[in-house]
Amino acid sequence: MARPPADQSRTGLRLMHVHAHPDDESSKGAASTAKYVAEGVDVHVVTCTGGERGSVLNEKMDRPEVWENISEIRREEMHRARDILGIRQDWLGFVDSGWPEGDPKPPLPEGCFALVPLEESAERLVRLIREFRPHVMTTYDERGGYPHPDHIRCHEVSVAAFEAAGDPERYPDAGEPWQPMKLYYHHGWSWAKTDALHRAMLDHGLESPYAERLEKWDREPDWDDRITTKVPCGDYFGVRDQALLAHATQIDPDGMWFAIPREIQQTVWPTEDYELVSSTVESTLPEDDLFAGIPIPAP
């Protein structure tokens, strides 16, 4: 997928995304990632787990040899997506907690990411923050985006590490202190976005994949109002889609991820949306840039 022309005007800025599993970096914020990479921003994705207990969601990949090698395959998928997005990426090194099913739900597996003491998992992330020295960090909201145990833990670890990384008294053996200037939560599917895409599909005489979802939606206007920052990145939806497809065990090319034509997405909702939750710099809300208020460092 050809990228739009790059201008490299923001070389020197650094952005860190913290995600729970391989594929999350491509399904959440990948177009804004590609936009910033094209502008010269150094983008670092931290993947908390290997996705070892994830389901195979693409029926074409639901084969015995895939299940037998799922850890290696998901790692290879992440590396392909990394190269498509033009990012650097590190594994935090924890084991996927899986999605507990049943009523009541079973206990989480011993040793999984969600059960590791917060001080231990946060220290690993603090080390990476102090090494990479990001100006901006993003992660999930307190609900995890959706209530997977690893997504909720990813939120907790990210917030704890953001708060500790600049404190010389916290984790003194984890590198020189560095305080990122801004922390954002990623907001993927607000009601307004879903409804706008649904209506656009109907206006074009196409079947919407969101009709049933909208009927059952328990709206929370206050939650959607938390969005502060909309990053224009529609020109990079194609790069996002290629990164998604790299995760072949998780993404069905004939599935819902690609049910809305890209042209409709680019016209109706050409942004990826975030919530600014902490900042040491001045910026005016609403924003259209994760680096609003942050000057480009001198060479």
């996927």: which residue's tokens?
Answer: 96
- List the structure tokens of 190: 């607000």
Contact 56, 62 (CB under 8 A): yes
Measured at the CA of 54, the angle between CA 163 and CA 242, to 5 degrees, comes to 85
Among 50-54, 81-85, 182-186, 238-242, whose mean pLDDT is lowest?
Answer: 50-54
Bond into 104 cis (ω within 30): yes
pLDDT digits (tens, 9 = 90+) for 263-298: 999 999 999 999 999 999 999 999 999 999 999 988
> Is a pLDDT exceeding 70 seen at residue 214?
yes
Residue 57 pLDDT: 86
Q: Which amino acid is at 273?
A: D
Contact 70, 56 (CB under 8 A): yes
User: Is residue 21 annotated as involved in ligand binding?
Assistant: yes
Q: Which amino acid is at 103?
A: D
- At 93 the three-state DSSP class reads strand
Residue 6 pLDDT: 59
User: Is residue 151 annotated as involved in ligand binding?
Assistant: yes
User: Is residue 155 annotated as involved in ligand binding?
Assistant: no
Cα(95)–Cα(98) distance, integer angstroms: 9
Cα(242)–Cα(65) distance, integer angstroms: 24
Which whole number is the average pLDDT over 194-210? 97
Bond into 286 cis (ω within 30): yes
Q: Which domains does the chain have, with CATH numbers?
A: 14-189+223-279 (3.40.50.10320)
Residue 1 pLDDT: 45
pLDDT digits (tens, 9 = 90+) for 83-101: 999 999 999 999 999 998 8
The pLDDT-based confidence of 39 (bands split at 50, 70, 90) is: very high
Among 9-18, 56-65, 265-274, 279-288, whose mean pLDDT is lowest?
Answer: 56-65
pLDDT digits (tens, 9 = 90+) for 118-170: 999 999 999 999 999 999 999 999 999 989 999 999 999 999 999 999 999 99
Beta strand pairing call for 42-49 and 14-19:
parallel
Sequence-ordered alpha helix ranges (H) in 149-207: 149-164, 191-203
Which whole number is the average pLDDT over 251-263? 92
Helix (H) or strand (E) holding 45: strand 42-49
Residue 292 pLDDT: 97
The pLDDT-based confidence of 255 (bands split at 50, 70, 90) is: confident
CA dihedral 271, 289, 235, 202 (to 10 degrees): 10
- DSSP structural state of residue 287: B
Contact 236, 3 (CB under 8 A): yes
> Is a pLDDT exceeding 80 seen at residue 8?
no
Residue 80 pLDDT: 98
Compute the mean pLDDT over every residue in the chain, rounded to the nearest whole number. Answer: 95
CA dihedral 181, 284, 151, 164 (to 10 degrees): 20
Residue 3 pLDDT: 54
> Is a pLDDT exceeding 60 seen at residue 48?
yes
The pLDDT-based confidence of 5 (bands split at 50, 70, 90) is: low
